[in-house]
Structure formats: structure tokens, C-alpha cells
Structure 1
Amino acid sequence: MKEGKAAPIYIDPKGEDYAGLRRAAGSFAADVHLVTGTQPDICSETCKLDGTAVIAGSIGSNELIDRLIAEGTLDVSGIQGKRECYRIQMVERPVAGVEQALVIAGSDKRGTIYGIYSISERIGVSPWVYWADVVPEKQPLLAISASLLNITSKEPSVKYRGIFLNDDWPSLGSWVTQAFGDFNEEFYDKVFELILRLKGNYLWPAMWSAEFSLNGTSSPLANARHAEEYGIIMGTSHHEPLFRAGSEWQKVYHQYGTSNLWDFARNREAITAFWEDGIKRNGSFHNLITLGMRGEADSALEGSDRENIELLKDIILTQKALLKKYHLEHEPQILAVYKEVEKYWYGTAGVEGLKDWDVLNDVIILLADDNFGNLRKIPAARGQRRGAGWGMYYHFDYHGGPFSYEWVNTIPLEKVWEQMSMAFDYGIRDVWIVNVGDLKPMELPVSYFLDLAYDFEAWGTNAANRTGEYTKRWVEQQFGHTLEPGTVEGIAQILSGYTRMNGRRKPEIVTPATFSLLHYHEAGRVLKQAAELEQAADTFYALIAEQHKDAYYQLVYYPAAASANVVKMNIFAGLNRLYAERGSVLANTYANLVKDAIGRDQHLQKVYNHGISGGKWQGMMSSAHVGYVHWDAEGWKYPEVSTLAPVDGPLMIVDVEGTEQGYVSGTASLPAFTNLLKETYDITISNGGETGFEYQAECSADWIRLEQTRGWIDTGTTIQAAVDWDKLGLGEAASGEITLSGAGTAVRVKVAVDWTSLQDVPPMTFIEAHQVVSIEAEHAMSRVSRSGVEWRIIGNYGRSLSSLKMFPDGVSFAQPEQAPYLEYRILVRQDGEYTLTAYIAPTNNLSPASGLKYAVSLDNGTPVAADALPVGYEGGNHDHEPWCRAVMDNIHTSVTSHELAKGLHTLRFYGLDAGLVLQKLVLSAAPLPYSYLGPEESFYTGHAGH
């Protein structure tokens, strides 16, 4: 564009792809108008072009582009014959009257459309321009670097890349019906455009109450026809075979017979005719055709394993015969190995499965995660190169057991990277489809998933620890032109922080008892993290330009602040219960904080649904997300609180940091609190009355220093005790007592400092304290590679610091002597039997015969082998308690026992099974008290941060 005039966009009206390119060009023209205030014309006659023009078309479907290629003016050698590629090139005098043209040539229709939208991105228009109200920077004149106008794109890494709109009520369905009336073509045009802007090509449509091929407004098939024009390859979900939506059958079964049974064994003729009509209706469009069959409403088939395998064979043969009848036998087909179908694929001890059935040789096999972002089974080495290929069905949202999660994002990008990179490395490269639920607010993970699938070379296995970089780039894409670099970094950390918080336990099942109120100061630490996250979201909201506040609220503020608020709400409720049980009026303070958090949750949701973007997103944020008591949202409720009627009560200590017991009243004494080299302790004192009273404190030893010795207690007061090292003396162990008195009572706290001499202790030695040595996996003294396999750090992955995983993927070891290992140095302070607890990411066994085995040795002794998965482990089975516990806690824990003598030891951890991801090790001389995250990392030598 120059001199206030936008260059027209030329599309060949005779091209087979004209309808789709016309749609893309229309949205591109709207992008230009959004940036410049000037709307380009879309032209279909070259004689009307002059000056500067944009020419867009596909090779073989645009006469002007084909002529430029034939003349040697336009070089398409890098894209010809490839899938979904584009070439962007400036061309001088391409046609009479045109001085220069920006040519966007695609190897096919989608390639051309990707090229068009790549220009949109280069002028500052986010793919989320409609779906998150992202406002681009205004520019009176478009200036694009010459290097960005001479580009040959790559071929996508994964062939079919798409999303599944699922679990679409109450949020997405409520919004769609008030905004569009139904799941019609007006709605789906927005979805198709988003997928193409994100360089995807595949869609499973909403299904629970919508029929994609019946819900069109202009005609029943309008949705399907628009998908065809846009170039979106349509599929149906894992339980909707041959183009028919799951909810269609019960509405139309009477057209095919008298029975409404969705049971092929008992209603074969009617169901076959139902499928045949689906082929007649949708067979002329580009589809990835779903085969197979599950039970009614996405349930399992009812027979025995043998009966179901034979029934599936009968079903698939019938479906393939129908496809052949209508000359569709060579169209791409897919079979989802989902939930119980996995057993039918592999077979059982007495029944041969489908995996070696030659009828499926031309069918893509769609494997699945366990519905919680952990892959289930992946191809064995000999099957990775099967001709028809493999796919993966992944989840950012799930409606099912052991519980549903359908609110905000709970899958950190680091987990997506680790699991989907493993999928790609195992040969799963034909289909990647992800359940995105309501689509919003999953904007960031949807972008990442599709970018990872499109350009695996840039973001996959060889790009470890680049999720943080990706997140910053994404923030810059949405808001970057108005932000300082430090603000971009801060917003990226908010996005990473809230998904990590939700990843360690999903908001729906955080309860007042989740985080320990008594041990390792866990609840206090988590509460501090949540408060800091909420404060950061507020800080950056104030820094965001006014025109970006709506987008910031959707993409960053709401999911972060609302998630943090749910955590705070539950911890406050736990403290309310604790102090109510202890008779402290602090319970009332926390009751009020719970009520405030409930009000804030309701307010944040109301702002999303009615306040932002002029009320555009009415109903979109309607999912229950607190206090689940069943697998679904039925019976959810906010935390309940207790209040105390104030009475005259004694002075009491309700919390002492660093102790397991936090309550003392009258003249009783607390047990000693001690912590190696810890300098300060907080002591919270309270009363049971409505009015406070004065207290005073004194110490029995001069090395105990108090922040204050006299004060006033209302509902609760914290004083700080510190060790005065100058008076204590280096290396000296000592004990003493703090006495607090007031209201006619006195309470005492015993204080002890217990030293361990660090003289001659080598660097990177973890020191036992309180009978525990806690180690973050990343802090190994050494990481030793073997057999071409090495341990690599995955930063920011897991429940605390990071993780370690063996690369390359797919290598297992029969014996520890062959395996790579991690080495740690520890100092224990007593002789005896110790338990080593390994905290391992909740990965599933990747083949029927594998587990998550590892081995541990001390001081070059015989390794002790263990498996993080119990015998009979069934990933994805919501009736299997070990798997349910693993996905709820987002961790596997496994223990080994070791006899140790007092002193220094070297611990080796060997990885034996592929897929194992180690996060933390805890060595303990006594049973560990309850905590969700386990003990904080122990002091270790040679580290400035400790």
C-alpha cells in the first residue's frame, strides 16, 4: 500500500481453488484495513490491475502465475510437487499496467492460503485477531522487509494437523447459540479461518448436540461445503464413523427401521443404511474417514474381548465395502485406538488383536493419550514405518473419569513438548489432533500444538527448552509492539506460571486439604506463589495499553488470576478449618478471606462473560471449576467455612514454622524446632477472644534473638525468632526456650540448633536434616551417558523445579550396567535403613510389555531395581486406582530401601525404560508426613543459593 491506496488482490476466477482463495483474500483485506484503515479490492480481472498488486494462486490453478513460472520469472522449484507450501516473491511488470506485484504462489490451495495469512502476520495481525480480539499496531504505510518478501516455505512436518471442539457445553455452546444461533456456517467460518491462520488443516467438529452436516443455515450441508471451499479436511471423532455425527442416530433411526439400538450385532441393516446415507451425503468432500464403532454416547462395546474384536472386524469390513461401493476405497481412512479399543488392537492372552490384520494396512491408526496428556501406547520399532502411518489424539480438555477438566489450560507447554516430541520420534507423523474443549481459553497451547506439528524441526526434539522462547514470541505476537522487553518476559512468565500451577493439580480438584498446612510450610509456600502470580497479572494489566486490555484479559489475566484465586480460596478454607478446630479466632479471618475469594471468582467470570469486548463473549466462561465431588461437575460447590463466636480465651501459639505440630495453649510446650543453618522462624500467636491483649516474650539464652519482645495480639500476630550466630559460636549445638506470656497464661517454645560440620565435605553434597535428604533431579553431581543415550534437563517441567529424561527417545535397557545414570552425593547423619522415594512424571507404559523401570545403587553396590508402575497398571482406565492417583497428583512415586552407615555416600540412579522422566529424589530415615509436593530441597554444599 502507498499514498493511501491499497494494492488490489488478484485471484483467478477460473481456478479450481477460487472460492477458498476468495474467502482468504477477503479476510486478508480486512486485516489490511484493520492495520491501515484502507481496504484492498479483490480483483478477478488482470485488465483492472495497475501500479502495484498482490497476485495469489496455486500452481496449475492460476493462469497468470503459471505464465510467470513458464517464463522463468517466478521460481517455484522449492515447492512444486510438495504439500501445503508457498513461495512469496516480488515480480516486476508481471502483466500490462502493473509495475510490480507481490506474488503468493502455493503448491496447492492450502499452501496459497498459508502464504496469504503469512503476510497478515508480517503486518502485525495475530491469528487470534477474532478469537481473542487482538488489536494490531496501526500503520499508515505498510513497509515489509525485502527479505520477508522472498520466501519459500517448508513442507509441514505432520500431514494432518487439527483440533477437536468437544465438551462444548455449557461454555462454547452457550456462546455459539447467543452469537450465531447454532453451530452453523457463520460460526464455522471463524473456526476454519483460525485453523488456516495457525497452519492447520483438519477439524473434528462439535458433536454433543450439534450435527455438522445438518446445522447449516443457508442449507443443511453449508458447514461441509464451506469447509471444502476453505480447504479444511473434515473428520469425525473416534466414535462417529462414516461422516455421521454421534447425535444423529437417535434422531433419524426411524428412517432405517423400528429399533433405536446402536448395536451392530443386533441392528446391522439399519446401522449399515445409516452409514450409507452418510457416504452419499459427505463422500464428495475431502475427508479423513473414520472407521470402527464404539457404544452409544462414546461408551465401550458390550461384549467380551473376543466378541468385540470379531464384531469390530465385521463392522470394518462392512464399512470398507460401503466405501468401495461409492468409489471411496482409496480415500484416506482412520481407526482410533482409543480407551478399550487399545486392547482390541493389541489383543489379549487368548485373542489375537487387530494390529496384524491386513485389512487395516491402508488405514491410519490413531493412537491416543490417557485423556490427561500422557501417551498410552506407541508403535513398536518394526511398526513405526507402516505404510498408512500413525496418528495421535491428544487432550487439553476432558469430560470423564476420574474427573473432568474443562475450564482453563492445565497442560504446560513443556509437557506437550515432551510427550508429542516423543510421539514424533516414534514415527507418529500422519495425524495430530487435540481435544481443545471450548477452544477458549486454550489459545496458547493450541498455537503451540499446531506450530509444533507444522515445524517440528524448529520446535521439536532438537529444540529442547525452547518453550519459554516460544511463549515470549507468542506474547510479542499479541501485544509486543506496545510493550517493553521486560514486560514481554513478565507476561510470558505469568502464562508459564499459571499453567505450571494448574499442571501440578487441576483446579477442579484442589481442595482445602490438598496442600499440607502442617508440614514443610507447604500451604504457605503455595499461597505465596499464587499471590505473586495474581499480583503480577494485575501489574501487567496496568501496563497494557487500553486497546489491548480485552485481549490481555482473555489470553493472560483471567486464566492466571482466576486459577491463582482458586488455589488461594482452598488454602484459606483449609486454614479456616484448622484454626476453628484450635479455637483461634484466626478462623474468622480466613472465613472472610474465603468469602472474598468466592466473590472474586464470580466477579472475574462475570467480567469475562459480560464486561470485555463489549459483551462479545457472553456465556463463554461458564464451566464449573471448583470443588468437584464426582467425576463431572455435578454437585460442585465452593468451600464451606466455619466461624467462631469470640470468647475470652488463653494465649495460644497456632503455628510455628518448621514444626510438624503448630498448636499450644496454656503452659504446655511445643517440641523443639530445628533446621540446619536456618536463620529465622515465624511464630504465629493468637487468642480466642473478641478483643486482643498485650503479650511479652523472653528467651532463656542470649543467642535467641526476637524481632520484638512486647506487642499486642488481636486475632493473630507473627513474631520472628532468629539465631544470633555471633553469640552462639560456629559449630556449637545449643538449645533454649522462648516464653510468651499474656492474659494470665504462658506458653513455651523449645528452640534447638543442631550443627553438622561441613569441614572436608566435598561440593554438591546434600546434607540430611530432620531425617530427610531431598534432591531436585537436575542437581546431579554428574550425568553419565551410555550406549549413545544421555540424560537431558527439561527446564520448568514438573511439580517443582525441572525434570531429567533420557534421549534419544525409545531406548530401554535390560541391565543397569548398560544404562545411563545420574550420580548424587549425600551425607547422612545416622546409621540405619533409609527409604528412597523417586518422584517420576505420570508417564504410562509405552508398550504392553514395558513399565517405567529404574535402578538405584549406593557406593557402587548392587543396584536395586524398581518399577514406578505397579503390576497390571492400566493407563487411561478410570477404574484403575493407581492410574487415577497418578493423573490427579501428576506424579508417580516409587520407593526402594537401603541400609546406610553415617557419613558420605554416592547414589546412582539408572534409567531402564524409555519414557521415564525423573523430577525429584527424597531419602528418608523415617516415614514422610503428608505433603502434596514432598519436602523442599535440602541444603547442599558449593551452591550459593543455599
Structure 2
Amino acid sequence: MITVEEFTFVKEGNAAKIYLDPSGEDYAGLRRVAGSFAADIALVCGLEPDICTEIRELDGTAIIAGSIGTNGLIDQLIADGALDVSSIQGKRECYRIQVIEHPVQGVEQALVIAGSDKRGTIYGIYSVSEKIGVSPWVYWADVVPEKKPLLALSANLLHTTSKEPSVKYRGIFLNDDWPSLGSWVTQAFGDFNEEFYDKVFELILRLKGNYLWPAMWSAEFSLNGKSSPIASALHAEEYGIIMGTSHHEPLFRAGSEWQKVYKEYGTSNLWDFARNRQAITDFWEDGIKRNQNFHNLITLGMRGESDSALEGSDAENIELLKDIIRTQKGLLKKYHLEHAPQILAVYKEVEKYWYGTPDVEGLKDWDVLKDVTILLADDNFGNLRKIPAAHEHHRSAGWGMYYHFDYHGGPHSYEWVNTTPLDKVWEQMSMAFDYGIREVWIVNVGDLKPMELPISYFLDLAYDFDAWGTGAINRTAEYTGRWVEQQFGHALEAETVEGIAQILSDYTRMNGRRKPEIITPATFSLRHYHEAGRVLKQAIELEQAAEAIYERIPEPHKDAYYQLVYYPAAASANVVKMNIYAGLNSLYLERGSVLANIYAKLVHEATGRDKELERAYNSGMASGKWQGMMSSAHVGYVNWDAEGWKYPDVSTIVPATGPQMIVDVEGTERAYVSGMASLPVFTNLLQESYDITISNGGAEGFAFEAKSSADWIRLEKSEGWIVTGETLRISVDWDRVYGAASGEITLSGAGETVKVMVSTEWTDIQDVPPMTFIEAHHVVSIEAEHAISRVSKSGAEWKIIGNYGRTLSSVKMYPDGISFAQPEQAPYLEYRILLCQDGEYTLTAYTAPTNNLSMTSRLTYAAGFDGEKPVIADTLPVGYEGGNHDNEPWCRAVMDNIHTTATRHTLSKGMHTLRFYGLDAGLVLQKLVLSASPLPYSYLGPEESFYTGQRRH
């Protein structure tokens, strides 16, 4: 029972000693962690506590850390009734922290950190580090804690009893270790050795993870040690990190080991079990001999050389895999590891071997695998593939999920900065948990940096699903705010912390819309819906926001801010700008305008800025600590990998002799030169303004005049694409115009005149109910959350997931896993629409690029108007194969980050009610567009239409 008010760590030049029991089997690991904990205290107070192994050395105040049953002093406190551990005893990875008065003679008070096991104790120690203000990212992101000459915390704040982690094995995979991570590691540590991995192990434990797949492409975890070849594995065991190998590296052997050592086992270097059986078996056996005494999650199975598919037919490969797994299990039994935890990755083509084909039974019901955890996988782009059916959720050996924040493969790699918003991680991984995937969560983090925020979130979600999972819908913004507070809160105003959180959300959403590597000059429409202009404006504002906060960051925290926030946000925004400027350069070259030269210059400036930002990260930040870490090519991919990447090409134009006025009306396919016919422009409820860009095809010194014939036509200088002073924004003063009205704008320059006709379209909405969307330009565009009702049925309901998707938000059916055979059984969304004409309409549904979740399911919905029989549609095209980089529909979906599906409806002029029914689990609706004519190209689709009750700006 706590009777003291606070515990003092450091006071007047004295620091509480840290006591560990040297006889405990967990001593070596706890000693390592206690050393870093003591260093944390020194970071805060400038004084590093002593670590003691003799009780008699303790006096005053002390910190006592250990696991139940391995620390004699803690066991004595339990026996004496001073420490109650009943809530954690016998549980996995739990801790209890308590302040106790006079625990032993000479000690006035002690902070006792008792773990149910070694990792529980370590988590407890690092939780105290967090409470004194030290971030888990203290080393990996140079986060500086608040300095305090006196360090004392309230006993109530320290008093903690943890829960068992929600997911058993929670970890990260260091995959694409070159050029970035590998370059940094070799200059900082010499190799992927134990000195490097100690930093990784510590980070994982600070984040309450416990599992690691090590770097693999050119590194061998159990060979690259510095003090001994196997030093990294020895250190992992001491720290309590459970080691694995990736999905294609069986029985403790790194993928790159085989070609280096195959001559020890025979003359053939074939990685082919059918043709080189004995040599490969002996190779695996030596892996078991080497690593058998360490805690591992043992990978079974086999894929082809260098993470490729096996070479045979599906039937041949299924039989070959059975032979391989029997051989591997035989080896494990030989070395008494038959009951050690084992895992089989159902990754890429292995999914076919797991489920089988119409002609061949797969591995799914094979008894040999009943004690093996089955590791399922996403499609490499953060979208789950096949997941367990309801009757399979409680499989005895459990299920795992291999997820991706980084990927090296087709259709295009993405290996630079974070492109996966937390909202997507929440939606997909919460679904995984709800489907019973709770044994293993492992995420590919590429080079580790700069994935700091999503790594924290992924591991926290796995550790405490109750706090952040399905029941915590729309709390990712809260999580981000807390995370920013952890890194910077003590040094910044609350408003600045909020601004940083917004930047993190905005840049990942921008990158999630389309990954930077595959944004091109033609991605965003230069002609329709102000799309390129709107996206450019967002990028510029993001860059400016990041810059404004950087200026306010105190000097000691600038390095952390640069790597965690500024670089990924500003560099990502710069890639967007670069490509849009290149698109405008091409457009104005085609039109003969000297504006092409301005945009060519801007592209060159953006490419220079990209190089400078990278140089600052690698060389300028943190006194050059992260040299080489930011080296990945990230612009202009033309292949699946970075080979052939390049910055956008631009050209300049030689001006014509004499001035020439070129008028470019947004929404048109071509420019109009002086002397040509008048141009119609419609300003209405769908699009409230247009940009007209007046440029010069000739000499410098061009000037123009613009006059309006009607006082309800507003003419304003517009930023347009950039601030050139040559762009007009035309809009309507709705307080002055009424009914059908038309007027004209006269543009004069270079001795020529062009007239632009402006007219308004009117729809009487006086008696139209609220939340009615109005057709304009033959289009009604609706963000999914703006339903007039979300009707629950059969125990299912639609919920809004804020900030999720390419535009506003998303809606999804809950609980996860529920599907319906017929629309009348299903929950539905209801929308009200006012149409201006009779006709054949196309309803396009924009849905998240989710995959079908079982071999027999699809992703279907139904849509109908006015109570008539709804039309059923499948968001997945015929032949769709999620995760197959040779499958064009899937490639298109993950590159565009959307599925679009169309249904046809005959509708009359007037009011209509649309019902949208969800039929298959996993469907996520983002937007609906009803159109009476083909839509022009745009990446994001039409902006949302006006609806009654909406505030006009």
C-alpha cells in the first residue's frame, strides 16, 4: 500500500541506485536495459545512477527491478505482503510498479518494478523512462527530453499494473536495407552487427514489441557479429527479443547465406529442394545446430531463390512443399525442437498452395501443420488478402499477419517516406484482429527510418488493442497528438503540438492518395475540377506549415523535428509540386505560351530542393549522424524498382516575335488565341468559380485588361497555379444575380480582344429538404459520409471513418466479418438527390482498394433508387487477383488507391432517393458520383456537389 506522495530519482547531486539480482537468469538482459535506463535518467538530470548487485549497497532511495521468481529481494517483498503481484503472476509480459517504504534496512523508499517475466520487467523499466520524459525514439530520432535538476514523480503516477499484450508476437522487419539503411549502418557500425542490433532491440522493447525479422538482402544475422559471428543472436536472447527470419528464410538461415556456403554441402548451388535435396537439408540442419538454444519463431516452408516463386506447377509445388515441411519437422524433432513455436508464411503464390486449386487439395487442412502458426499477408500495399473464416478464428496454433509500410516489388516499389495513413492501418489491422489474427503481427518497415510514427502505432495497436482497436474508431488523430506530445510537448505550445500532428496526418494522407514514386506530370488533371491547382495548393500549404513550425522549434529539438516531421512532409510536398509544374510546362509548351519557361524554372528549383533536403538529412542533421539513411530514389519510377528513375523532363520555348495573347480557360481542352470565337463558361452550383489564365506567346512586357459587362460577375486576381499576376478567377456574386443571367468578360491585350461569355444555371431549391444534392454540369458528386441516414439491419451498421481515403472520409459496415446474400437483409446508406433532366445515368462508386477476404467471397454492393429493385455490382473485376503484380486490375487499384465501379440507372428529372447496400465484408465506401454523360479525366473525380443546408463561402 502506498503511503508516500512521491518518489525521488535525483536530488541535490544524488541519484537513486538501481538494484538487480545477479543470480537471476534474466540478469544479463536486465543489466543491459538498466544501463540504458540509467542513461535516460542522466539525459534528464545530468547524473547517471549506479547499478548495484548487492543489497547492502543500497541506501536512501532505490530502484529495484526484476522478475517474479528470479529476484530474491522482490520475492521477499511479495512473501512479506509488501508487494502484491497477484494481478500479473503467471501472465505473459506484465509488470507491476509500486513505491514501497522501507523495503530493506537503510532504504527509506524504493520504486519496485516487478515483471511477470523478463520482458514484463523490461517493459516496466522503459515505462518509467517514458514517465520521466524520455521518448522511445530518444536514439532513433534524437528526441531530447526536458532537463530537470530535481527529478521526482508522484507515487500515484508511478503506481501501475499492466495488462497482457493483445497480440502475442509483435515486431518489425528490416527489409530494404540498401541503399539507405545499409549505407548508414556500414558507416556507423561497420556492419549489421550486434552493436547495430542492440539499438534495434532496445527500440523494440521501448515500444513494447518482442519480435524481429532482421535485415536480409546482404546481411546474415547469425554470421555478422563483431565479437563473434553469432553475437547478434546472443544479444537478442539476452534482451528477450524473439527472433524470426522472413517468409522465405527457413530454419534460422538467412536467404543470402546459401550462395556463400553451399560448397560446404556439395557442388551444386541450386536452391531447389527437388534437385539438391541433401545439400539443402544439411544446410538447414546446421542452422538448427547454430541457433537451437535461442528463442525463435521458426520459419518453415521454402520459396525460390531471392524471394521468388518455386518453379513447378501448382500441383507439383504443393507436393514439394509437403516434402520440404516433413523434412524440416524431422530435423526439428531430431534436435528436440518439435514443440518450439513454428510459423508458415502464406505469402504471394504460397496462398494458392495453402488453399489449393480446383484440381489439387492445398495445405490448409493438412494435419502436419496443425501446430504451426499460419502467417497470412496483405497484398504488399497494406490491404489484407485472404483471412480466416469464422469457424477458423480459434485455430490452436493461431494466425499471424505480415503487413507492409514499405515494399520492394511490383507493380512499383515504395521505399522512401511513410505512405500509409494511420487510419488505413487501423481499419485493416483492426479487421485482422477481429478475424482472429492475434498470434503474430509483423510489419515490413524497410529502412526503419523514417517510419517512426507508423511503427509506434502498429506496435501500440498490437500491444493494447482494447485502447486503440475496433472500439476506438476515429482515434488516430488523438494517437498522433499524443505521440507528438511525447516527442516535443515539453518544449512547445499546445497549438504548435497540434499543428505538428496535423502536418503528420496531412503528409501521409497526401502520400496515401498516390505514392510519391509514381506521381507523374499527368497524374492530376490540369483541366478539370481545379484538380491540379487544388492539389498544388495543398502541397504548398503543407510545405509552408512545416516551415513555419520549424522556425518556432527551439534549437535543441530541430534535429528531431527535421527527421520526424519536416523532411517527410516538405520533401513529399516538393515531389507533388515538381510533377504538377512539369505538367504545366508541357501544357504551355503545347499552347505556345512563355508560361512554359516559368514552369520549367520551377521544376528545376524543385529538383534542386529535393537534393538539398536529402543532403540536409544525410549530412547536416544531427551533426551527420544519419549519413546515408535518406538515399532512396523516390521520383519518376518507370520500372517496378528504381532502375531508370529520373526527375521530370521539361523544355523551354523560344518566344514568338511580338506579343500574342493566349487565353486558357480552365475546363477546356485547348487555348484560345486573340481573334478567335467567344468562349462559354458556366458558373453554377457544382463549380463556383473558373480560372482564366492569360499568357504571352511573344515578347516581354505583355499587359492585358479585363472588364465585365455585369456587376454580378466577380473578377479577381488569382494565385492560379502560381502567383504570376496573369490568372483571373471568375466567380458569381450571388447577392446580385437572380434567375437566368448572362454577361461577358472582355479581355484586351496585344491589340486583340477575346470575349468570354458567362452564364448561370439556376435550380429552384426553395422547398428542397436539407442534405439534398443538386445536379449541375450533368453531375452529382457525394462524399460517402453525407448520407441523410445510415440504416442498421441484421446486427450490422455503417460507421464513418474520418480522414480515411483520398478525399474526405469513408464509411464501412461493422462488425467486421458480416456479409449478406441479398440487399433486403443488408444495412444501407440513403442519399437525396435533385436531378435537372431525364436520362440514363451512371453511378460510380469509389471504394477503398480492399481485396476479397476469402476464396469464395467478392466485394459486392447494391444500389437502387426510389425503392426499386437495386442493381448488384462487384467492385472487383473478373479475374482480379489481389497481390499478383501481373494482374492489371489489382495493379491499377493499388497505384490509384481506389476501386471504381459503375452501375446504370434510368432516372427522371426531380427528386430521388438513392440507397446503397453493403453486401460483402471489407467493403469501404468513399464517394459516389452520378453522371449523365462521360466524366472527363481526373485522378480524384469531381469535387463534391452543392447540397442544401451547406454553407457557401
Q: TM-score, normalised by structure 1?
A: 0.98
2:247 to 235, 238, 252: 238
Who is 2:744 aligned against?
A: 737
Question: Which residue of structure 1 aligns with residue 78 of structure 2?
Answer: 69
Q: 1:669 aligns with which of 658, 672, 677?
A: 677
- Contact 2:661–2:750 (CA<8 Å) still a contact in 1? no
Deviation at 1:627, TM superposition (A): 0.3
- 2:463 is aligned with 1:464: no
Seen in structure 2, the aligned counterparts of structure 1 residues 105 and 194 have a Cα distance that, compared at 3 Å, is same
Checking the alignment, whether the CA contact within 8 Å between 2:779 and 2:930 is kept in structure 1 is yes
Distance 1:390 1:102 in 2: 38
How far residue 727 of structure 1 moved from its aligned partner, in angstroms, is: 4.9
Q: Which whole-Å CA distance do the structure 1 matches of 2:544 and 2:848 have between them?
A: 30
Which residue of structure 1 lines up, in the alignment, with residue 639 of structure 2?
630
Return the match for 2:934 from 924, 927, 932.
927
The offset of 1:654, in angstroms, is 4.0
1:823 equivalent in alignment to 2:830: yes
Q: What amino acid is aligned across from residue 883 of structure 1 in structure 2? A: W
Q: Does 1:397 align with 2:406?
A: yes
The Cα of 1:88 is off from its aligned counterpart by: 0.3
Equivalent residue in structure 1 for 2:919, among 905, 912, 917: 912
Displacement after TM superposition at 1:675 (Å): 2.8
Inter-partner Cα distance in structure 1 for 2:734 and 2:172: 60
Cα distance in structure 2, aligned partners of 1:888 and 1:868: 16
Quick one: structure 1 residues 726 and 387, their matched pair in 2 at CA, closer, same or farther if it must change by over 3 Å? closer
**Distance in 2 of aligned mates of 1:852 and 1:679:** 36
Q: Does the 8 Å CA contact 1:693/1:714 hold for their aligned counterparts?
A: no
Q: Spell out, residue by residue over 1:457-484, the C-alpha distance to the aligned partner (whole angstroms, 9 max, x if none).
A: 0000000000000000000000000111
| Aligned-residue identity in percent | 80
Rounded Cα–Cα distance in structure 1 between residues aligned with 2:396 and 2:616: 51
* Partner Cα distance (2:940, 2:70) in 1: 59
Counterparts of 1:324-343 in structure 2 under 5 Å? 324-343=333-352
Inter-partner Cα distance in structure 2 for 1:100 and 1:680: 71
Amino acid at match of 2:353: Y
* Candidates 160, 170, 173, aligned match of 2:169: 160
Partner of 1:595: 604
Q: Distance in 1 between matches of 2:749 and 2:161?
A: 79
Between the aligned partners of 1:302 and 1:720, the Cα distance in structure 2 is 61
The answer to whether structure 1 residue 762 and structure 2 residue 769 are counterparts is: yes
Given that residues 662 and 674 in structure 2 are in contact (C-alpha distance below 8 angstroms), is that contact kept between their aligned partners in structure 1?
Answer: no
- TM-superposed CA distance for 1:704, in Å, is 3.3
Aligned equivalents of 2:39, 2:119: Cα separation in 1: 19
Kindly indicate whether residue 12 of structure 2 is the aligned counterpart of residue 3 of structure 1: yes
Matches within 5 A, 1:6-405: 6-405=15-414
Separation (CA, whole Å) in 1 of partners of 2:483 and 2:174: 22
d(CA) in 2 for partners of 1:703, 1:416? 48
User: Which residue identity is paired with 1:345?
Assistant: W
Q: Which runs of 5+ in 2 are unaligned?
A: 1-9
CA distance in 1 between counterparts of 2:327 and 2:438 reads 28
CA distance in 1, matches of 2:712, 2:421: 46
**TM superposition shift of 1:661:** 3.6
Cross-structure match for 1:752: 759
8 Å CA contact 2:683, 2:690 repeated in 1: no
Given that residues 88 and 115 in structure 1 are in contact (C-alpha distance below 8 angstroms), is that contact kept between their aligned partners in structure 2?
A: yes
- Secondary structure at the counterpart of residue 434 of structure 1: strand
Q: Match of 1:667, as an amino acid?
A: G
- Most deviating of 697-706 and 629-638: 697-706
Q: Tell me if 1:778 matches 2:785.
A: yes
User: Contact between 1:685 and 1:716, CA under 8 Å: does it hold in 2?
Assistant: no
Shift of 1:693: 3.0
Task: Provide the C-alpha distance between the structure 1 equivalents of 2:41 and 2:764, rounded to a whole number of angstroms.
Answer: 70
Residue type of the alignment partner of 2:809: S
1:378–1:724 CA distance, 2 compared to 1 (3 A): closer
Structure 1 counterpart of 2:444, from 435, 440, 457: 435
SS of residue paired to 1:30: helix
CA-to-aligned-CA distance 1:511-559 (integer Å, 9 cap, x gap)? 0000000000100000000000000000110111110000000000000
Structure 2 counterpart of 1:892: 899
Residue 725 of structure 1 deviates from its aligned partner by: 4.4
Per the TM alignment, residue 640 of structure 1 is displaced from its structure 2 partner at its CA by 0.8
SS at match of 2:657: coil
Separation in 2, partners of 1:143, 1:828:
67
Contact 1:224 1:285 in 2 (8 A): yes
Return the alpha-carbon distance in structure 2 between the equivalents of residues 649 and 359 of structure 1.
Answer: 83
Per-residue CA shift, 1:208-234, capped at 9, x if unaligned? 000000000100010000000000000
The equivalent residue for 1:571 is 580
Choose from 680, 683, 692 the match for 1:683: 692
Verify the 8 A CA contact 1:395 1:434 in the aligned structure 2: yes
Q: Distance in 2 between matches of 1:410 and 1:169?
A: 19
1:794 corresponds to: 801
* Contact 1:68-1:74 within 8 A present in 2 as well: yes
Equivalenced residues, count: 940
In structure 2, the CA distance between the partners of 1:705 and 1:72, relative to structure 1 (3 Å rule), is closer
Paired letter, 2:604: K
Question: Quick one: which of 844, 850, 853 aligns to 2:857?
Answer: 850
Q: Which amino acid aligns with 1:465?
A: N
Find the aligned partners of 1:357 and 1:6 in 2 and give their Cα distance.
59
Aligned residue for 1:797, secondary structure, equals coil
1:690, CA displacement in angstroms? Answer: 2.9
CA contact (8 A) 2:180 2:628 kept: yes
What SS does the corresponding residue of 1:144 show, helix, strand or coil? strand
Q: 1:80-107 CA deviation, whole Å, 9 max, x = no partner?
A: 0000000101111111211111000000
Select between 875-884 and 661-670 the one with higher mean Cα deviation.
Answer: 661-670
Contact 2:717 2:725 (C-alpha < 8 Å) held by counterparts: no
Provide closer, same or farther for how the CA distance between residues 649 and 831 of structure 1 changes in structure 2, counting only shifts above 3 A: farther
**Which AA in structure 2 matches 1:402?**
P
- Output the CA distance in 2 between the equivalents of 1:494 and 1:662: 37
- Structure-1 residue corresponding to 2:421: 412
| Residues in 1 aligned to 2:710 and 2:561: alpha-carbon distance in whole angstroms | 55
Deviation of 1:723 after TM superposition, in Å, equals: 3.0
Question: 1:806 matched to which residue of 2?
Answer: 813
1:504 maps to a residue whose letter is: R
One-letter code aligned to 1:236: T
**What SS is found at the alignment partner of 1:600?**
helix
Is 1:544 equivalent to 2:553 in the alignment? yes
What letter matches 2:277 in structure 1? R
Q: Is the 8 A contact 1:49 1:97 kept in 2?
A: yes
Report the Cα distance in structure 2 between the residues aligned to 1:103 and 1:565, rounded to whole angstroms: 50
AA aligned to 2:117 is D
Q: Deviation of residue 726 (structure 1)?
A: 5.3
In 2, distance between residues paired with 1:137 and 1:715? 46
Which letter maps to 1:94? Answer: P
- Quick check: 1:692–1:715 contact (8 Å CA) kept in 2? no
| Alignment partners' CA distance in 1, 2:79 and 2:118 | 20
CA–CA distance in structure 2, aligned partners of residues 58 and 522 of structure 1: 59
Secondary structure at the counterpart of residue 445 of structure 2: strand
CA shift at 1:886, angstroms? Answer: 0.2
Contact 1:651 1:685 in 2 (8 A): no
What amino acid does structure 1 have at the position aligned with 2:923? L
What secondary structure, in the 3-state scheme, does the structure 1 residue paired with 2:151 have? coil
